[in-house]
Amino acid sequence: MRPIGRTAVAAVLAAGCLAATACAPGTASSAGGRAGDDRTGTLQVWLYNEAGNAAKEAVIAKAVSEFHSSHQGVTVNVSYIDTDASARAAKMKGAFNDPNSAPDLVEFGNTDLPGYVAAGGLAEIGADLDAWKDKGDLDPAIARTAVVDGRTYGLPWWVGVRALYYRTDLFAEAGLTPPTSYAELVTATRKIHAAHPDTFGIAVGGKYTFGALPFVWDAGGDIAAKDGATKDGAAKDGAAKDGAAFKAALDSPASQAGIRRYTDLFGADGCPAQQCADLTGGKTVDLFAAGKSAMAILLNSNRGKVEAGAAKGRYGVVPLPGEKPGSVAPAFAGGNNLGVMKAARHRTLAVEFAELLASPAYQEQMYDAMGNLPTLRSVSGKVAAKDPFLKPFTDTIAAGTRFVPLHQAWAQIDAQAVIPTMLQQVVTGKADVAKASGDAAAQIDAAFAGH
Amino acid sequence: MPRTVVCPTLTRLTVPRLTATHLTAPRLTLPVPVRHREQVPHVSASTTAPPGGRRRRPPLLLLLPAALVLIPLVAYPIYQLGLLSVLDFGQAQASGGVPTSFVGFGNYATILADEQFWTVLLQTVGFAAFCVVATLAVGATLAVLLTKVGRWPRLLLTTAAVAAWAAPAMTGSTVWSFLFDTNLGLVNHTLERIGLSGFHEFNWFYDKWTAFLIVGAVVVWHSFPFVMVTLYAGIRAIPEEVMEAAALDGAGTWTTFRRITAPMLRPILTIVVIQSVIWDFKVFTQIYVMTEGGGIAGQNLVLNVYAYQKAFASSQYGLGAAIGVIMLLILVVPTVLYIRGLRRTGNEL
């Protein structure tokens, strides 16, 4: 009886497997197949739902009505999507996997770009933008954040940069001027902490990647650098490669010097490791706003939160100083781009609407509404003249900004917390800079090799 | 108590009941609560079919309804998991940007070659062992306590325990995180109040072991009610006469426990232990929420969180599936033991 039973079971299993092989992991049909260039109909637009979104919606509503009046038979339908990292990733993956429910135009964080490009979700719009009248006004370093392997996939809409917030009252009391070099910054932490033992010299965090990177860039290091030589097999599949492959540079002597400068701030005078090893950038905002720290490396858009806290009216902002006196440590050019989906049914309309949103008039209005920094140099100068608070930020942009490797491996490096892990290992004394940066570099190289 | 007085009763009661065979192999049938339906694998027809070919067909037919549910809900996903684990399958492949490629055991090789995997595996086993022992100790102690106290304390204790049981892992973890918060936590505040100034802004999650201790406590808090309720039911199901007979025989508390309670509870205890092993091995929420994704420099990672961080957060579904398969293989061991335990209690599958 047993053999027969087994045969029956085996037959059922075999049949099941046959049926199942017909359903290998789902892969979406090519997004391009559905694309079109209709000049009428409904243009679907997804924008980020941000804190204080009502002001943004008001500006967008104006742009929509302007677009309606210049385009007969076109309706623009704007949806605001959840900005939370995992929620928006899920939303975008959904749009890529099901081209039928994809919008025409999307707003996206510029670090997400390479992954979206590799997924085949975005259309190349370089040729379209060549005809855009404001193209020459774009900040070149920021314009590069929309380019992957020589192709342009987005229109930089706004940026946010970090600078050094400091407490004017504590600095005056200690007889200090705002730091113009790393050495002065360290001295300031020491003096202020000595006078106020409960106050941190500077708020930094072990998970604050974009707080640490300026120190690395200032020291001449980087996360990864393009290797001049073409590596065999680097261009086999995946996103189109332009020959040179990325190679981790976090363990280079220059990078190590930068990492050391950042992690040295986690001492008793700066931000004690016990308190600060697990802080994110957002938590450092809270610390500074609550009056707990004398300095912090914060975004221009954090102003509102600082104004709402104990530090209100008692702070100033200067560009984050570099090692060399008077220099500015390069800031990370984080920001959002507007991109046209590959599955867009209204390609030209989408590009035109993006150009309208990124035009000088609307960039200025977006600054007024949301405090987002413009990507056009002319608008940047204009808003800085209008609001002196912005000067250190526009100065920082003018001094040159930097970016993460424009490669889809960045998404993996970021998700696997490679840089925070490295920082935390050093800060907690689990490893020295050489070992931690070496491990991180190995992981970064593995991520590049895997894509 | 003078023995001579109770002798007639003793012989009447003990002879038919307290024989050696009854003690070592109690014929006790209890409803066994099953927390993880998916952990109950489908047993092939041949193992349960009675001898004699003629009676084979009906059992197969009887299995059909279960198979209809289990094949699409369990077998098919496991098949897909296995398939994904041998593919290079990420977001780019899912959305059709890049063709899917077969990598054989490449994903497995990547994981097994990762030093961190072995550290995390060891950590997971250690953490699960700690949680199982602690859960059992707390659950069993309270179960015994329940049998000793009066109606109102019992009701109070049961209600409190069931409330902890009912709290979603996410909520429980968040609330406990608040309690142990560095700056605003009630625990630090209280410790400072009673004069322990060392706990001023003490970060419980800075050190690997204190972090594991706190998370472990929350895991135990979430899972001891199951153990308590199950064991309490088990203790209550021991026939009164057996206990009475033992008492009449002059057995003390310890002897009664050793000779009667423990052997009679053994099958239930086995199941509770194995379920706890499975449960605690798969801990995710408490670690993920309380240590913010695995602790400082990943010091508090356990296998499930590692799989998520390593693979799913960065859309490397192939790699994640391979970790899933490895976990499945590891958990097959306690599952098989669990099935055997179930059958021993008389719950034929």
> Distance of CA B123 to CAs A259, B117, B207, Å?
29, 10, 15
Asked if B94 lies within 8 A of A408 by C-beta distance, the reply is no
Asked if B96 lies within 8 A of A17 by C-beta distance, the reply is no
**H-helix or E-strand containing A357?**
helix A347-357
Q: Using CA atoms, how far apart are residues B5 and A46, in angstroms rounded to an integer?
A: 89
> Distance of CA B289 to CAs A417, B53, B170, B205, B276, Å?
16, 55, 7, 12, 21
Provide, as residue numbers in chain A, all residues whose Cβ is less than 8 Å from the Cβ of B293. Answer: 417
Q: Which of B45, B42, B50 is nearest to A9 (CA)?
A: B45
Q: How far away is chain B from the Cα of A416, in angstroms, using its nearest Cα? A: 6
Q: How far away is chain B from the Cα of A51, in angstroms, using its nearest Cα? A: 23
Structure tokens given for B295: 């602790």
- The full set of domain ranges for chain B reads 110-344
Asked if A20 lies within 8 A of B84 by C-beta distance, the reply is no
B5 Cβ contact partners less than 8 Å away, ≥ 6 residues apart: none
Pairing between strand A224-230 and A331-332? Answer: unpaired
Q: Using CA atoms, how far apart are residues B219 and B317, in angstroms rounded to an integer?
A: 28
A-proximal residues of B, 63-102, CB under 8 Å: 71, 75-76, 79-80, 83-84, 87, 89-101
By the 10 Å C-beta count (0-12 exposed, 13-18 middle, 19+ buried), A109 is classed as middle
The residue of chain B nearest to residue A30, with distances taken between CA atoms, is B96
Structure tokens given for B11: 């012989």
* Domain A162-331+408-449 = CATH 3.40.190.10: yes
Provide, as residue numbers in chain A, all residues whose Cβ is less than 8 Å from the Cβ of B296. Answer: 206, 277-278, 424, 428
Phi and psi at B195, nearest 5°, equal 100, 5
Q: Which of A339, A337, A319 is nearest to A329 (CA)?
A: A319
Provide, as residue numbers in chain A, all residues whose Cβ is less than 8 Å from the Cβ of B75. Answer: 16
Asked if B201 lies within 8 A of A275 by C-beta distance, the reply is yes
Provide, as residue numbers in chain B, all residues whose Cβ is less than 8 Å from the Cβ of A4. Answer: 53, 56
CA dihedral over B283, B285, B288, B290, signed as positive or negative: negative
Task: Answer whether B315 touches A (CB < 8 Å).
Answer: yes
pLDDT tens-place string over residues B145-190: 998 888 999 999 999 999 999 999 999 999 999 999 888 889 999 9
Structure tokens given for A310: 């104990």
Tokens 């109102």 sit at which residue?
B152
Q: Which of A277, A426, A276 is nearest to A295 (CA)?
A: A276
Provide, as residue numbers in chain B, all residues whose Cβ is less than 8 Å from the Cβ of A424. Answer: 296-297
CB A244 within 8 A of CB A330: no
CB A437 within 8 A of CB A256: yes
* Domain B110-344 = CATH 1.10.3720.10: yes
Provide, as residue numbers in chain A, all residues whose Cβ is less than 8 Å from the Cβ of B79. Answer: 16-17, 20
Pairing between strand A147-148 and A151-152? Answer: antiparallel
Asked if B56 lies within 8 A of A1 by C-beta distance, the reply is yes
The pLDDT value given to residue A168: 96
DSSP B279: H
Q: Using CA atoms, how far apart are residues B282 and B262, in angstroms rounded to an integer?
A: 28
Pairing between strand A41-49 and A105-109? Answer: parallel
Task: Answer whether B224 touches A (CB < 8 Å).
Answer: no
DSSP B259: I
Asked if A115 lies within 8 A of B91 by C-beta distance, the reply is yes
Provide, as residue numbers in chain A, all residues whose Cβ is less than 8 Å from the Cβ of B97. Answer: 96, 118-121
Suggest the residue from B74, B91, B202 to mutate for an interface test with chain A (most A CBs closer than 10 A): B91
Residue A372 has a CB neighbour count (10 Å cut-off) of: 21
Provide, as residue numbers in chain A, all residues whose Cβ is less than 8 Å from the Cβ of B289. Answer: none
Give how far the C-alpha of residue B203 lies from the chain's centroid of Cα atoms, to the nearest Å: 29
The pLDDT value given to residue A272: 93
A9, A25, A424 member nearest B296 (Cβ): A424
Asked if A25 lies within 8 A of B94 by C-beta distance, the reply is yes
- The full set of domain ranges for chain A reads 31-159+334-401, 162-331+408-449
Q: What is the domain class of A31-159+334-401 according to CATH?
A: alpha beta
Tokens 């260039």 sit at which residue?
A37
Q: Using CA atoms, how far apart are residues A399 and A163, in angstroms rounded to an integer?
A: 12
The pLDDT value given to residue A115: 85
Amino acid code (one letter) for A306: V
The residue of chain B nearest to residue A280, with distances taken between CA atoms, is B292
Structure tokens given for A205: 């965090």
Output the DSSP codes for A268-293. Answer: SSS--HHHHTT--HHHHHHHHHTT-B
3-state secondary structure of A144: helix
Structure tokens given for A376: 């056009």
The pLDDT value given to residue B18: 38
* pLDDT tens across the length of chain A (451 residues): 344 455 555 555 555 544 444 455 666 665 555 578 888 899 999 999 887 788 899 999 999 999 999 999 999 999 999 877 777 888 888 888 888 888 999 999 999 898 888 888 899 999 999 889 899 999 888 999 999 988 999 999 999 999 999 999 999 999 999 999 999 999 999 999 999 998 999 999 999 999 999 999 999 999 999 865 333 333 333 333 455 789 999 999 999 999 999 999 999 999 999 999 999 998 899 999 999 999 999 999 888 889 999 999 999 999 999 999 999 999 999 999 999 999 899 999 999 999 999 999 999 999 988 888 999 999 988 998 888 899 999 999 989 899 999 888 888 898 888 999 999 999 999 999 999 999 999 999 988 987 7
B98, B202, B310 member nearest A118 (Cβ): B98
Distance from the first to the final alpha carbon of chain B: 47
Check for a shared fold between A31-159+334-401 and A162-331+408-449: yes
Provide, as residue numbers in chain B, all residues whose Cβ is less than 8 Å from the Cβ of A26. Answer: 94
Tokens 């398969």 sit at which residue?
B325
CB B255 within 8 A of CB B110: no
* pLDDT tens across the length of chain B (349 residues): 333 333 333 333 333 333 333 444 444 444 444 444 444 444 444 444 445 445 556 778 888 888 899 889 999 999 999 999 999 888 778 777 778 888 888 899 989 998 889 999 999 999 999 999 999 999 999 998 998 888 999 999 999 999 999 999 999 999 999 999 888 889 999 998 998 888 888 899 999 999 999 999 999 999 999 999 999 999 998 888 888 898 898 888 888 888 888 888 888 888 898 889 989 999 999 999 999 888 898 899 999 999 888 887 777 889 999 999 999 999 898 888 878 877 776 654 4
A191 Cβ contact partners less than 8 Å away, ≥ 6 residues apart: A174, A176
Strands (E) across A386-451 are located at: 401-402
Cβ-Cβ contacts under 8 Å between A and B: the total is 142
CB A146 within 8 A of CB A116: no
Q: Using CA atoms, how far apart are residues B80 and A11, in angstroms rounded to an integer?
A: 19
Q: Output the furthest CA–CA distance in chain A (Å, rounded).
A: 95
Pairing between strand A373-374 and B101-102? Answer: unpaired
3-state secondary structure of A427: helix
